[in-house]
Amino acid sequence: MKTPRMRDTLSFIKDYIKLHDYAPTVAEIARGLGLKSTGVTHRYIKQLEEVGMLRLVEGKRRNIELSEPEKDENFCLPLLGKIAAGRPIEAIPGIETIDLARTLLGDDRYILKVSGDSMIEEGIFDGDLVVCVHSNTAKNGDVVVALVDEESATLKRFYQPSKNKIVLQPANADHAAMEFEAQRIKIQGIMIGLLRIAA
């Protein structure tokens, strides 16, 4: 996993190569990032090499090469599995990635695929993709990813009428609100966007 400094270093290298058609030196990277120590800069470069984001070529002064120069990883978010929009179901990890617009990106965001019809009055239908941001807290009225009893996840509108009670409210007249003791619920994310891909 890249740290913020590693991301800054990689972004600087990518931008520099786009501008100059050759890689920056360690000293140039340090200056560009406002770092006084080239040793610290070299450590970030080695860390990026270790996670496979770039290569260091022996015998060259400008020895940095991007592993995938044409690919911008930041346009993809992981599709982690399905999320229930009816009765809670087990959340099963997936392995796909979804390409998204730049405004929806961030290391704390992910996608879930809706299964069920309990949120249709919010315009969230079976098969839709919801973009979520990781969070373990929520405000009344948020549409949340809620884990029930450490076993099943569901997408519902969140309300907490008291310290000890949480209500997960569907958006379908055919589904009743679900009330739980607060300790049975863990918030895993908040919905921030919706994607629907036409067949």
Does 67 participate in catalysis according to the annotation? no
**139 catalytically annotated:** no
Catalytic residue, from 82, 113, 115, 156: name it.
Answer: 156
Catalytic residue among 82, 113, 115, 118: 118
Q: CB–CB of 15/23 below 8 Å?
A: no
DSSP collapsed to 3 states, the chain: CCCHHHHHHHHHHHHHHHHHCCCCCHHHHHHHHCCCCHHHHHHHHHHHHHCCCEEECCCCCCCEEECCCCCCHHHEEEEEEEEECCCCECCCCCCEEEECCHHHCCCCEEEEEEECCCCHHHCCCCCCEEEEEECCCCCCCCEEEEEECCCEEEEEEEEEEECCEEEEECCCCCCCCEEEEHHHEEEEEEEEEEECCCC
Question: Known catalytic residues?
Answer: 118, 156
